[in-house]
Chain A
């Protein structure tokens, strides 16, 4: 009796195994065709500066750019390319989060850009201390950066998601201001942690995890004891920073804005 049931069970398993082999074998031409189309298909440009890429090119770009971004700190463009080529699902999530908020929807409708021709830096300098505008211009001066250095998005294969990526890039400096982090290695890693937890972009996660490798030994203990826990706390508890319509809040007090967004006071400030 036992032998009979074992044999029947064995037969059933064998038949199931053979059936699976059969279906896979007959699927091979379709699988090959899918692989070929994924690696060779091309579409038309969807926005200014768009370079449509297929799966194989995307793979080469993301792997190559992550290696170069880690080994050559001078290649900031590789960080940007890495974000674009590997960030498709994260960008979709960010887009959805923006659509769920009123302010985010307004940003997506109006599509504001941040560069030296759209924001009047001189006017922002004249605002009182403690306002977002003034603190932002102080940040630009102290760290010697300009809002014009952001590369245009090229490798995102969707016009809306390309704008989300562009907005992320342009508001990076404003996130620095809100978090009170300078542009040295410690500050950048802290900001990357916050961005990684909020946006889930693989580039941010990679930067947050591998960035500290470049930290000098004396900074490592401050990083581990102060900045890291703070950054993780802010990243998980604060509201979604992409939903902040910065252009309408230049006159708002920065401490008030931090309260509104649930950002805890930075350790250095």
Chain B
């Protein structure tokens, strides 16, 4: 013990001091002593812009600033409004490209070992979950193993019941085998689930709507089994300046009017494009995932950074 301290405080040790801080944090996470190093998760450290007079934290709702307690309600309202036309609008806004992104995202998880338990958070209308289901069935046929199909399970969770209802309707319309699927209405920041219960945690286009992203990442870390994988598909920042200009013009000038025309709701789609701009950059989000304790965190840009896949392991 004293030898370790001697090394750490020596000139040699102090060189690697910076890395040691993060190592210590993730080391404590691995011991599952999650309350130990809470400095970065301390609410008072989170927003520099919070007012000095009131203790209420403020967060971003698109380009507006609202109280943290209000954001959840407002986001809930947005998705309540768009739920019925959600899939149509996705097709219109991304000209169908979102299907390619989701197909690629699901391909990254496979091949899956038999008996995988998966949780798809913010999985509302079921796009990712249905693709995973179909891929599991295809994998079984390919390898002629009945193990994967029998024991695997996919839990679709979403904070908004309206989105889950749309998902259930879609599942019945597509005649999908539903004993692998289960549905749960829950907040990603507080999942009513046991620790270490899932092998794979996926969240697609949902994490930017969460009020406190670090809480959702902590929950992801908690419910994953050691060795489990965290996969996140999310809109991100385009670096190329010319493409960025085209992307910005398209997002702000064309998407809200199309939202009004197809879904009768301008403001919800204004919120959606603003929330994309307010979300963290690829590197910053990667840091946040590492702070939650995940290791081997990587990201991959799709469509020049319009969409990014972040992946991390709990090891």
Contacts and interface: CB of A to CB of B under 8 A. Distances in A.
A199 B168 CA distance: 48
B258 A60 contact: yes
B264 A40 contact: no
A68 B262 contact: yes
Main secondary structure of the interface of A (DSSP, over half): helix
Given A39-B249, A40-B249, A57 B256 contact: yes
Contacts of A183: none
Interface residues of A, number: 17
A39 B253 CA distance: 8
Interface string B243-254: 000000100111
Given A39-B249, A40-B249, A53 B261 contact: no
Contacts of B257: 53, 57, 60-61, 64
Given A39-B249, A56-B253, A51 B258 contact: no
B261 A61 contact: yes
B260 interface: yes
A77 interface: yes
B220 to A, nearest CB: 37
A263 interface: no
Contacts, number: 39
A64 B261 contact: yes
A65 to B, nearest CB: 6
B266 interface: yes
Interface in B223-262: 249, 252-254, 256-258, 260-262
A75 B253 contact: no
Nearest to A78: B261
A64 B258 contact: yes
A51 B252 CA distance: 13
Contacts of A154: 266
A242 interface: no
A68 B263 CA distance: 11
Interface string A254-267: 00000000000000
A77 B266 CA distance: 12
A39 B249 CA distance: 9
A61 B260 contact: yes
Nearest to A51: B266
A75 B264 contact: yes
B261 A81 contact: yes
Contacts of B267: 51
A246 to B, nearest CB: 29
A147 B249 CA distance: 39
14 contacts: A40-B252, A40-B253, A51-B266, A51-B267, A53-B257, A56-B254, A57-B254, A57-B256, A60-B258, A61-B261, A64-B260, A64-B262, A65-B261, A78-B264
Given A60-B257, A60-B258, 12 more contacts: A40-B249, A40-B252, A53-B257, A57-B256, A57-B257, A60-B253, A60-B254, A61-B257, A64-B257, A64-B261, A65-B261, A154-B266
